[in-house]
A and B are shown apart, each in its own frame.
Chain A
Amino acid sequence: MSKIIVYRLFDLLRRMLSRKGRGGVLPGVGEFDGMTRFRCNGEDRQVGRFDERLLIDVLREDLRLTGTKLGCGTGDCGACTVLLDGRPVNSCLVYAVECVAREVETVERVSQDDAGRILAEELVAAGAVQCGICTPGVLVMATSLVRSNPTPDRADIETALSGNLCRCTGYLPIVRAVEAAARRVADQREPA
């Protein structure tokens, strides 16, 4: 609750500062009226005004994007990982208003993109999906890794995914899937 007040003050400050130079228009936002608007999976979405909710709740409840899973609510399990401006974040730690004028991508979208689709296939093929509750977060995080590092070694995979808890598989199939997907993504990039 106190965090939301800080954000409101922060936004107010930004508006005042921006007025000085830019005539009341926030860079990339326009006149900020407290309305939470952001791009989600390629579409402009608008949720509540001065919405105090977390991104995960807005995604799941308002946008019905329930692929993003709530495992802990404290940023420790990674099941709620989404991409915010292309970078992985725990959506249980991000307020919806922090996403104003930014781009959110959830598993529903990420799993359809090139690298994400390949990762989805490899996760299935490697037997990395058991109960599946951690899988969307793993997919989003691993896609982010493969996009930024086309040739991850095991240490890179461990570093990237150490915040994504899986209780079923023992992780080895996830490692195998990410290695296989990275190879395929790299092959696609390099003209044969």
Chain B
Amino acid sequence: MTLLGSALHRSDSAAKVDGSARYTEDFQPDGLLHCAVVRSPLASARILGVDTARAADVPGVVRILTAADLPDRRWGTVIRDQPVLARDVVRFAGEPIALIAAESKAAANQAAELVELRLDPLPASVTMADALREDAWPVHEGQPNRREAARVRRGDVDACMLDAPFVVTTRIESHRVHQGYIEPRATLAEPDGAGGIAVTTASQAPFVVRQGLAALLDLPMSKISVRVPALGGGFGGKLHLGLAPLAAVTCLATGRPVRVVCSRAEDMRAGNPRENSIVELTSAVDRSGRILARRAVVYLDSGAYAFDTPMIASIAALMGTGPYRVDAIDLTAVPVATNTCPTGSFRGPSGPQMVYAVETHMNEIAAAAGLSPTEIRRRNLLRSGDRGPSGELLPDVTMGECLELAARRLEEWRRDEPAAGRGRRRGYGLACAWWLTSGAPAGATVTMNEDGTATVTTGGTEIGTGAVVVGVAALVADTLGLPLERVTVRSGSTDVGPYDSGSKGSRTLFGVGNAALMAAEAVAGQLRDEAAEQLEAAPEDLVLADGRVSVRGLPQASVAIADLVVGAINRTGPVVGTGRFRGAPIPLEGSILDGMRFDAFNEATFHCHAAEIELDPETGRIEVLRYLAVHEIGTVLNPDGARGQVEGGVVQGLGYALSEVLDVGADGTVRNADLVDYRLPTIADIPRQIETVFVAGHPGPSGPRGAKGIGEAPVIIPAAAIGAALRDILGDQPRALPFDPIRVAAFLDGVDETRQP
């Protein structure tokens, strides 16, 4: 194990730096048609007609499609409820109504502007408050806007509430935010010359796209190939079919290659942003500060179509306790349909708002019980051997270790605090969280080539984290005793490698890594068998290292792996292994689960962040000075990659906390569909210092070489850490996100008023 855990070279970086890496939009097949999408300007309307005559006259326009040209089939991740093109009614501003395929981008865009939509405005349920009213406008006719809830129960919550010395209630409203990947969504669909279609798409889950397209187009899966070239970020925003249905139907209608690319504005109006939400928490607490019972009711704005919000609701319910032991629980999360853009997964789905709500609630419990924020956490933390909310046994809980590390650092910062100048005030806060590592299925093959190099194939996608191109490669190289540069991973295509469930759930290295490890071990066995023959030794006495197989203790008795591969091809057959993985079912005990589509943290990870902030009370501006991120993620295989996930995740989490809001107006339209008014953090907005600490010594039992997931956790905690630091300054913290200067200034006014005599 010299390779794993060391600084690992990332083989795809050079091509990304010099511009030669190819992303979806970089492919330009002959005869390419450009597709523009005509979208609804209204949030809720009946479609009286779509007049395409003038658009069709634009030179270069090849084909125009509306719902009338397509069979009435729906798509969706959990519930199939979304048409490819709006049929009869539109349910959100930005919903596709017509497609224009033209010889040039300019012609397609010009024609799109000439399509006349005759829309009859209908009432709309734009906010969750609108949607949950008794007489609310139903987003889907005949169906309640309040969707099937996910619920976890255990013990007698009501009895605890009645008897408890304290009952504390916290209500948090969180905002809608966009993934903000820099590569807009794009899809290219081409006839494959054999009666099927070949799709090139910016996707985190090519097999999900293939399955969805097969159902929508009524084609066998074997007639559809989906490949993901270099992918310019996703963060959950590219987990769904996205533009693939639009490109595919146009390709089938024209018989030509068709590319659909979202403009930034389209992407922000009609992507699948993180849901805004309302989180209500009530806890019964005893005099020592122990939480006896917790009730959580979470409303998640699902938007006009379900996407994966039913799944996210399950995660939100599971997150209702935070990393604390609560024996009596009633945790409910409800997706709410509204006439807004459908929301969906965004890195750590439901995480930031749930962590913010739970941690704010903990701070309020601390205040009620007269304890410090650190002490209230100490007294309630999950411990090894406890069960999580769904009844999952947690054999190795490291939350306490993470908390103590962060708490110590916070005290050091507080002690060396220099005077904050110009009326500014310093604050120190921390927040705890746990997160999941999904055990979703993965497959991989490892093939040895005659020159001693190895090729790994997998349907897993390299979203940019390095989990596939570095992590999976390193696991295989380590197992086969090869230098890292002799292992190449080919990934992200339904045709190249076996099934994978997608880059999500902090599971790429965990799932694909496990599958690749199994394949590599099969290959190692075949190499040992061949070497045993050539070296006249027992296979179990052979070691694989430095590109050779040698007899343990007899390094001179060795043979190059390349020679073994050639030998095996001639003697027994090519050296190739396959691996498959699916996390084992988690036994659940003691809880009642309803509507839960996701019920276990699988390999749980534990995290604590600490922040030093400076508040300018005049402007409401918060500056983050120093930031510490403590994570226990099992064994760290690729330290640089893991740290990259943490630093990038922290800054994304700070964007969520401090500046980003996807602003949906009263009419249901997005009012800041650009990167000026939607404020992603820039290089000038980040803390001077982000320190990352990985807690060692806790390998994940089912992870590849002890690894657990790290992709999502860093993003879910910063808002809670900053909120705690604000409370440190003000004695209170906002109940609504984000903490942009305007909202913070308004909150400061409120704090001042309550302090007036």
Measured CB to CB, the residues of A under 8 A from B are: 52-53, 57, 60-61, 64-74, 76-77, 79, 106-108, 111-112, 120, 123-124, 127, 129-136, 139, 157-159, 161-175
Interface centre among B23, B640, B652, B683 (most CB of A within 10 A): B683
Of B263, B648, B684, the residue contacting A130 (CB under 8 A) is B648
Distance of A158 Cα from B26 Cα, bound (Å) = 29
Asked whether, in the complex, the Cβ of A131 is within 8 Å of the Cβ of B464, the reply is: yes
Which residue of A is nearest B267, CB measured?
A: A72
Give the distance in Å from the alpha carbon of A69 to the alpha carbon of B686 in the complex: 24
Given A71-B675, A74-B676, 14 more A-B residue pairs with CB atoms under 8 Å apart are A57-B105, A66-B22, A67-B20, A69-B23, A71-B182, A73-B264, A106-B19, A112-B18, A124-B10, A127-B10, A127-B640, A133-B182, A168-B233, A175-B683
Given contacts A123-B17, A124-B17, contact A167 B182 (CB under 8 A): yes
Contacts A131-B233, A133-B183 given; does A77 touch B683 at CB 8 Å: no
Partner of B686, one of A74, A76, A171: A171
- Which chain B residues lie closer than 8 Å to A175 at the CB level? 683
Q: Are A77 and B182 in contact (CB under 8 A)?
A: yes
Which residue of the partner chain, among A74, A112, A132, A171, contacts B12 with CB atoms under 8 Å? Answer: A132
Q: List 17 A-B contacts (CB under 8 A).
A: A71-B182, A71-B183, A76-B676, A77-B675, A129-B17, A131-B233, A132-B464, A133-B230, A157-B683, A164-B683, A165-B682, A167-B182, A170-B651, A170-B686, A170-B690, A171-B683, A172-B690
Q: Which residues of B contact A108 (CB under 8 A)?
A: 18-20
In the assembled complex, how far is the CB of residue A92 from the closest CB belonging to chain B, in whole angstroms? 10
Contact with A along B1-35 (1 / 0, CB 8 A): 00000000010111011111111011010000000
The docked-state distance in angstroms from the alpha carbon of A172 to that of B640 is 13
**Which of chain A's residues has its CB closest to B233's CB?**
A131
A77-B182, A129-B10, A131-B233 known; A169 vs B647 contact (CB < 8 Å): yes
Kindly identify, within residues 432 to 482 of chain B, every residue whose CB is under 8 Å from any CB belonging to chain A.
463-466
User: Please, how many angstroms separate the alpha-carbon atoms of A112 and B18 in the complex?
Assistant: 8
Distance (Å) between the CB of B622 and the closest chain A CB?
17
- B683: chain A residues within 8 A (beta carbon): 157-158, 161-162, 164, 166, 171, 174-175
Give the most central of B106, B182, B644: most A CB within 10 Å.
B182
Binary contact readout B22-65 vs A (1 if CB under 8 angstroms, 0 otherwise): 11011010000000000000000000000000000000000000
Partner of A139, one of B10, B17, B464: B17
Q: Which residues of A contact B647 (CB under 8 A)?
A: 169-170, 172-173
The residue among A72, A162, A172 with the most chain B CB atoms within 10 A of its own CB is A172
B643 sits at the interface (CB 8 A):
yes
Are A172 and B233 in contact, CB atoms less than 8 angstroms apart?
no
Residues 505-541 of B at the A interface (beta carbon under 8 Å) = none
Q: With A and B bound together, what is the CA distance between A133 and B648 in angstroms?
A: 15
CB-defined contacts of B684 to chain A, threshold 8 Å: 158-159, 162
Contact residues of B between 641 and 660, Cβ < 8 Å to A: 641, 643-644, 647-652
Judging by beta carbons under 8 Å apart, are A67 and B18 in contact? Answer: yes
Q: How many residues of B contact A (CB 8 A)?
A: 54
Residues of B within 8 A of A67 (CB): 18-20
Q: Which of A61, A70, A133, A165 contacts B28 (CB 8 A)?
A: A61
B182 & A136 in contact (Cβ 8 Å cutoff): no
Across the interface, A168 reaches (CB within 8 A) one of B14, B184, B648, B675, namely B648
The CA-CA distance from A127 to B647 in the complex, in Å, is: 11
Q: Give the docked Cα–Cα distance between A168 and B181 (Å).
A: 8
Minimum Cβ distance to chain A for residue B313 (Å): 26
What is the distance, in angstroms, from B113's C-beta to the closest C-beta of chain A?
11
Contact across chains for B105 and A133 when beta carbons are under 8 A apart: no
Smallest Cβ distance from B626 to chain A, in angstroms?
13
Q: How far is the CA of A66 from the CA of B649 in the complex (A)?
A: 28
Tell yes or no: B232 within 8 A of A by CB: yes
Q: Is B680 on the interface with A (CB-CB < 8 A)? A: yes
Chain B hits for A133, CB < 8 A: 23, 181-183, 230, 232-233
Does the CB pair A65–B182 fall under 8 Å? no
Chain A residues with CB under 8 A of B465:
130, 168
B400 at the interface (CB under 8 A from A): no
- The distance from the CB of B35 to the nearest CB of chain A, in whole angstroms, is 16
Give the shortest distance, in Å, between B349 (CB) and chain A (any CB): 17
Contact of A170 (CB < 8 Å), options: B233, B650, B675 = B650
Interface centre among A52, A53, A71, A129 (most CB of B within 10 A): A129
In the assembled complex, how far is the CB of residue B612 from the closest CB belonging to chain A, in whole angstroms?
A: 16
A16 nearest CB across to chain B (Å): 29
- Determine the chain B residues whose CB is within 8 A of the CB of A120 once the complex forms: 14, 17-18
Interface centre among B17, B183, B263, B466 (most CB of A within 10 A): B17
With the chains together, A76 CA to B235 CA distance in Å?
A: 20
A35 to chain B, nearest CB (A): 19
Instruction: Judge whether B21 and A132 touch: CB under 8 Å.
Output: yes
Asked if residues B675 and A74 are in contact (CB atoms below 8 Å), the reply is yes
A77 to B648, CA, bound (A): 17
| Min CB gap A76→B, angstroms | 4
**Which residue of B is nearest A178, CB measured?**
B683
In the assembled complex, the Cα of A167 lies from the Cα of B680 at a distance in Å of 8
Point out the residues of chain A lying under 8 angstroms from B681, CB to CB: 171
A111 B19 Cβ-Cβ under 8 A = yes
Partner of B644, one of A107, A127, A157: A127
Chain A residues closer than 8 Å to B18, beta-carbon distance:
67, 107-108, 111-112, 120, 136, 139
Q: How far is the CA of A172 from the CA of B687 in the complex (A)?
A: 9
Q: Report the 10 A-B pairs with minimum CB-CB distance, sorted nearest first.
A: A67-B19, A131-B464, A132-B16, A133-B232, A170-B651, A76-B675, A66-B26, A170-B647, A107-B19, A111-B18
Interface hits, B695-729 → A, CB 8 Å: none
B231 in the interface (beta carbon within 8 A)? yes
Q: Which residues of A contact B680 (CB under 8 A)?
A: 165, 167
How far apart are the CA atoms of A130 and B20 in the complex, in Å? 15
Q: A131-B231, A131-B463 are in contact. Are A166 and B19 (CB under 8 A)?
A: no
What residues of B have a CB within 8 angstroms of the CB of A76 in the complex? 264, 674-676
B661 CB to closest chain A CB (Å) equals 16
Chain A CB within 8 A of B180 CB: yes
Contacts of A132 in B (CB 8 A): 12-13, 16-17, 21, 230, 232, 464
Bound-state CA distance A112–B686 (Å) is 30
Report the minimal beta-carbon distance from A108 to chain B, rounded to whole angstroms.
5
Tell me the B604-663 residues at the A interface (CB within 8 Å). Answer: 640-641, 643-644, 647-652
* With contact pairs A72-B675, A129-B13 given, residues A64 and B235 touching in the complex (Cβ less than 8 Å): no
Task: Establish whether residues A171 and B182, one from each chain, have CB atoms under 8 Å apart when the complex forms.
Answer: no
